[in-house]
Amino acid sequence: MPDWVKETFCQRLDLLTENAEMLHDVLLLKNKLNRLEHLFMHKLDKVGEKKLHREWLALQEQMVSLQKGWLYTKGVQDGIKMMIFLQKSEQELESYEQGNKVIT
């Protein structure tokens, strides 16, 4: 498969990911989460509690990042498989059509 096709798949997935992050409902939830996080951090009394919370957030972000990376890879793999299937199907169709032209 040509590199430009692979790159096109990657760019499409990037665009869809960006669009998903900008969905109205997602933005509302992000804003609500940010407000709750700031309120939560303000309510924490001890420095150790805030540090623990930051560590928890960092691990959560790392987990989400790993999940996104895995999904991205699987999406690219599926796209490549689809292109191979379509390319093979197109070649078989051309071969079939050429065989029928010879017969008639």
Average pLDDT, the chain: 81
SS3 82: helix
Cβ pair 84, 1 in contact under 8 A? yes
**Apex CA 20: angle with CA 19 and CA 24, to 5°?**
90
Indicate the pTM of the whole model: 0.52
CA 6 – CA 96 distance, rounded (Å): 28
**Apex CA 13: angle with CA 2 and CA 32, to 5°?**
170
What tens digit of pLDDT does each residue of 9-50 get?
788 888 888 888 888 998 898 899 888 888 887 887 777 788
- pLDDT surpassing 70 at residue 83: yes
Specify the amino acid at residue 59: L
